[in-house]
């Protein structure tokens, strides 16, 4: 396998279409998976107009800076660590919580930096991670599924679960507040910090696109469930200049991976595209190598990150969704082994973590057990590593980086 040796000269990825109303038109006829059934389209139009008139949440210059940092990772000269809540919630969006998560993330970054001797780019799952894809539009109780605070409420009542477009304005305000905390953490710690979320809810994302940039966050990713190549999410991603992530699960074929790279990184710009594999501990060694090889052979200088969370989710005896620390660590170790064997660069990790003392994932050095899960199971969606488990995993990764 060959790692791309050429450094493309383009400094900005080509933006292939107009944005603003032109963008909305370009997406209009395409399949948009995982969107809510808003009860009132007139309200949606009002909220989209309001979002379109509000100031952007992040600056294009900071978005470009992140792409430059990620370019270093694409070229093997830096690492990346992305992490934070699976789902941010409005109630949980306190300065203390955001700060604790960012400090946990920075702690990982510092350990990786020391162990690898490379700069590490910290990117929070923060300030916009409010929308969630669901496996079914309704739950076993017959109610519409909870799609994240940006869409509806978690409480199991028909009223709470009815999608309310005004929640997008609350999300915008919450994201702004979280970005203020992010900036202050960056100042006190003298680090550069960036914000990422899944570009899932198009009625929120599209009005915040300005001059070819999605200014709802620095880094946006497309999830495993909304990445149909001819769908609206990929079409949006193609038309924005932000660095992009794409989640790839175990069913992805090498041809598909190349097709995505072609669609999202036609100019082969380092830092433009980050492929986030989430294969599961059992499959990573078999499934990941052909994808890495095919994308490299096609000449795309992507960053490869490992999300060891989403392929390792299980249901505990009491019914709570959980993840075992050992399975998470096993996928991480498989991911590093794959890249070592191929001679490609393991770009880093994408984690669901919190600095808070929650009881959502099993194991770790404290050996959290199933019967403890209900004690502080606070996640708005998927189980996160708590502060101690995050450090345990960071130490585990540091050991690998030192090898």
Closer CB to Mn ion, 13 or 223, in the complex: 223
Q: Does 133 bind ligand PEP (CB under 6 A)?
A: yes
Q: Give the interface segment with ligand PEP, choosing from 13-21, 53-61, 219-227, 387-395 (CB under 6 A).
A: 219-227
Among 164, 307, 382, 392, binds Mn ion (CB under 5 A): 382
Any binding-site annotation on 278?
yes
Q: Which does 164 bind (CB under 5 to 8 A by kind): Mn ion, ligand PEP, none?
A: none
Kindly determine how many residues on this chain lie close enough to bind Mn ion according to the rule CB under 5 A. Answer: 2
Q: Does 384 bind ligand PEP (CB under 6 A)?
A: no
Q: Does 223 bind ligand PEP (CB under 6 A)?
A: yes
Instruction: State the Cα–Cα distance between residues 164 and 162, nearest whole angstrom.
Output: 6
The site string for ligand PEP over 247-276 (x = CB under 6 A, - otherwise) reads x-----------------------------
Any binding-site annotation on 321?
no
Q: Does 310 bind ligand PEP (CB under 6 A)?
A: yes
Per the CB < 8 A criterion, the answer to whether 356 and 387 are in contact is yes
Residue 17, classified by CB atoms within 10 Å of its CB into exposed (0-12), middle (13-18) or buried (19+), is: middle
Q: Which tokens is 229 given? A: 């190549």
Cα 109 to the center of its chain, rounded Å? 17
Instruction: State the Cα–Cα distance between residues 353 and 86, nearest whole angstrom.
Output: 8
Least distance (Å) between residue 225 CB and ligand PEP: 6
Q: Which tokens is 299 given? A: 């000449």
Least distance (Å) between residue 129 CB and ligand PEP: 8
Q: Which tokens is 231 given? A: 């769908």
Among 224, 356, 360, 392, binds ligand PEP (CB under 6 A): 224
Q: Which tokens is 78 given? A: 């830096």
Kindly determine how many residues on this chain lie close enough to bind ligand PEP according to the rule CB under 6 A. Answer: 10
Q: Which does 147 bind (CB under 5 to 8 A by kind): Mn ion, ligand PEP, none?
A: none
Q: Give the interface segment with Mn ion, choosing from 78-86, 265-273, 296-304, 315-323 (CB under 5 A).
A: 78-86
Least distance (Å) between residue 135 CB and Mn ion: 12
Per the CB < 8 A criterion, the answer to whether 122 and 109 are in contact is yes
Q: Does 182 bind ligand PEP (CB under 6 A)?
A: no
Neighbours of 271 (CB within 10 A): 25
Cα 87 to the center of its chain, rounded Å? 10
Cα 190 to the center of its chain, rounded Å? 24
Q: What residues between 91 and 150 interact with Mn ion by CB under 5 A?
A: none
Residue 156, classified by CB atoms within 10 Å of its CB into exposed (0-12), middle (13-18) or buried (19+), is: exposed
Least distance (Å) between residue 361 CB and ligand PEP: 14
Among 26, 58, 80, 86, binds ligand PEP (CB under 6 A): 86
Closer CB to ligand PEP, 4 or 245, in the complex: 245
| DSSP-derived secondary structure for 134-201 | -SSSB-TTSSBPP--TTT--SSSSHHHHS--TTHHHHHHHHHHHHHHHHHHHHHHHT---EEEEE---
Any binding-site annotation on 306?
no
Q: Which does 278 bind (CB under 5 to 8 A by kind): ligand PEP, Mn ion, none?
A: ligand PEP
Q: Give the interface segment with Mn ion, choosing from 99-107, 220-228, 239-247, 381-389 (CB under 5 A).
A: 381-389
Closer CB to Mn ion, 84 or 163, in the complex: 84
| DSSP-derived secondary structure for 42-96 | HHHHHHHHHHHHSPPSS-HHHHHHHHHHHHHHHTTS-EEEEEE-SS--TTT--HH
Q: Which does 197 bind (CB under 5 to 8 A by kind): Mn ion, ligand PEP, none?
A: none
- Give me the residues paired with residue 353 across strands: 385
Q: Which helix (H) or strand (E) holds 103?
A: helix 95-116
Q: Does 86 bind Mn ion (CB under 5 A)?
A: yes
Name the packing angle between helices 284-297 and 254-264 (round to 10°): 50
Q: Which does 327 bind (CB under 5 to 8 A by kind): ligand PEP, Mn ion, none?
A: none
Neighbours of 74 (CB within 10 A): 29
Among 218, 239, 278, 300, binds ligand PEP (CB under 6 A): 278
| Residues of each annotated binding site | 86, 125, 224-225, 247, 278, 310, 352, 382
| Residues of each annotated binding site for phosphoenolpyruvate | 125, 224-225, 247, 278
Q: Which residues bind ligand PEP (CB under 6 A)?
A: 86, 133, 198, 223-225, 247, 278, 310, 382
Q: Which residues bind Mn ion (CB under 5 A)?
A: 86, 382
């Amino acid at each position: 396998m060959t790692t791309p040796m050429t450094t493309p000269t383009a400094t900005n990825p080509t933006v292939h279409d107009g944005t603003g109303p032109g963008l909305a038109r370009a997406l209009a006829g395409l399949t948009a998976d995982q969107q809510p059934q808003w009860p009132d389209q007139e309200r949606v139009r009002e909220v989209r107009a309001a979002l379109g008139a509000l100031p952007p949440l992040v600056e294009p210059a900071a978005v470009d800076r992140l792409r430059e940092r990620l370019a270093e990772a694409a070229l093997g000269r830096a690492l990346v660590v992305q992490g934070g809540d699976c789902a941010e919630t409005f109630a949980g969006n306190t300065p203390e919580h955001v700060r604790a998560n960012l400090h946990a993330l920075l702690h990982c970054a510092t350990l990786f930096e020391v162990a690898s001797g490379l700069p590490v780019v910290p990117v929070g799952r923060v300030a916009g991670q409010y929308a969630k894809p669901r496996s079914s539009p309704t739950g076993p109780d017959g109610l519409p599924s909870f799609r994240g605070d940006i869409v509806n409420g978690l409480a199991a009542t028909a009223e709470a679960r009815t999608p309310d477009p005004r929640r997008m304005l609350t999300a915008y305000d919450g994201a702004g507040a979280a970005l203020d905390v992010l900036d202050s953490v960056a100042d006190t710690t003298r680090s550069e910090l960036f914000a990422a979320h899944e570009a899932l809810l198009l009625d929120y994302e599209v009005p915040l696109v300005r001059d070819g940039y999605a200014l709802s966050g620095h880094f946006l990713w497309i999830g495993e469930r909304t990445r149909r190549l001819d769908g609206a999410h990929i079409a949006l991603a193609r038309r924005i200049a932000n660095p992009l992530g794409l989640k790839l699960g175990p069913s992805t074929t090498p041809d598909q991976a190349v097709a995505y790279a072609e669609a999202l990184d036609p100019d082969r710009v380092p830092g433009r595209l980050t492929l986030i594999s989430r294969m599961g501990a059992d499959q990573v060694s078999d499934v990941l190598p052909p994808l890495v090889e095919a994308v490299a052979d096609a000449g795309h200088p992507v960053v490869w990150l490992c999300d060891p969370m989403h392929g390792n989710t299980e249901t505990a005896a009491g019914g709570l969704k959980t993840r075992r620390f050992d399975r998470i660590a096993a996928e991480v170790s498989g991911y590093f082994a794959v890249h070592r064997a191929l001679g490609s660069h393991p770009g880093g990790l994408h984690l669901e973590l919190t600095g808070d003392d929650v009881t959502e994932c099993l194991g770790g050095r404290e050996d959290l057990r199933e019967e403890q899960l209900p004690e502080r199971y606070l996640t708005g969606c998927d189980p996160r590593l708590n502060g101690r488990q995050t450090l345990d995993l960071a130490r585990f990764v540091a050991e690998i980086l030192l090898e």
